[in-house]
Amino acid sequence: MFDLIRDFPDHLQEALSIGRNAKLGTPNGPYTNVVVTGLGGSGIGGLIAAQAVAGEATCPIEVYSNYYLPAYVGKGSLVIACSYSGNTEETLAAMKQAMDKGARVVCITSGGTMLDTAKAKGLDHIVIPGGNPPRTMLAYSLTQQFFVLKHFGIIKSDFESSVSRSAEQLKSNQAAIQAEGKELAGKLFGKRAVIYSEASTEAVSIRFRQQLNENSKELCWHHAIPEMNHNELVGWAGGDKSIAVVIFRHKDDHERSQMRMEINKEVFAKYTPNVYEVWSKGDDRLERQLYLIHLGDWTSWYLAEKKGVDATEIGVINMLKGKLAEVK
């Protein structure tokens, strides 16, 4: 796991090469909507991409992490099916629905049933490297989302430059990012983490939560501002010093949201001294999000190390899949 986290910048560079060489069919747009179907480490790339391009996308982009797709999916839809293993049963079920409804389907996978189906049915597909935990391959699945969105006319921005610059910056500042992650892990050790960010970058908070779940074997939760100001903020009356707050912040967060964060910090401080702000770094929105993703991954690793747990082990998920496989 250590090596896979360290190699995230290299993964981004390789993912660019894979995307540039991908053979996708004629776009045949325009499309009225985009739906990404995927779960866990395979699905989070869709959430991050959807938020990153929200300001320029020519149609709505929605992520569905379930067995089904919304009723509006049809011949004017672009469905991106993402399963790292290619065998995620929920995603395969949703993918079949998309095909039955006549949607344009693009697959992002390393193999399995998804790749076999894509080849047999003549579906557009991009193959990414296999053999690793899905959560460690985010650089590949996320980057391909951008290639697909651009190819099919949903976005026009030069995301490749952002990804490339980010890879270079993350690699050159690796030691400092590791040190920051180790420091944050020390602050979270023995505490229940609560993660906040502005709603426009909530997907990065979700990624961090998932990494604490799987790598650090930690229960935690996240929420987004301003929504949490209309409900969860009241719940802080039940907060205490066992909670550690992590606030992901960006210099381009809405000015009113930044005001809310400052006021929220005053509320949190009434119940816990453990309130930590983490500011993103980078020249543009995507670079800043990739920075926080990498930092969060390192934090989850160092927290696992501090707890003495195996960051790679996910036995309970494998048990669940095994029991489900017994019932067909």
Proportion of the chain in helix, strand, coil states, percent, rounded to 5: 55, 15, 30
- Positive or negative torsion for Cα 198, 200, 206, 211: negative
Q: What's 24's DSSP letter?
A: -
Set 230, 270, 323, 328: catalytic member? 230
Query: Is 151 one of the catalytic residues?
Result: no
User: What's the CA gap between 62 and 43, in Å, rounded?
Assistant: 11
Set 75, 156, 251, 321: catalytic member? 321
**Segments of the chain assigned E as strands:** 33-37, 61-64, 77-83, 104-109, 124-127, 192-198, 221-225, 243-249, 275-279
User: What's the CA gap between 170 and 163, in Å, rounded?
Assistant: 10
Query: Is 230 one of the catalytic residues?
Result: yes
Query: Is 214 one of the catalytic residues?
Result: yes
User: What's the CA gap between 241 and 226, in Å, rounded?
Assistant: 24
Set 214, 223, 250, 287: catalytic member? 214
Residues classed as catalytic: 214, 230, 321
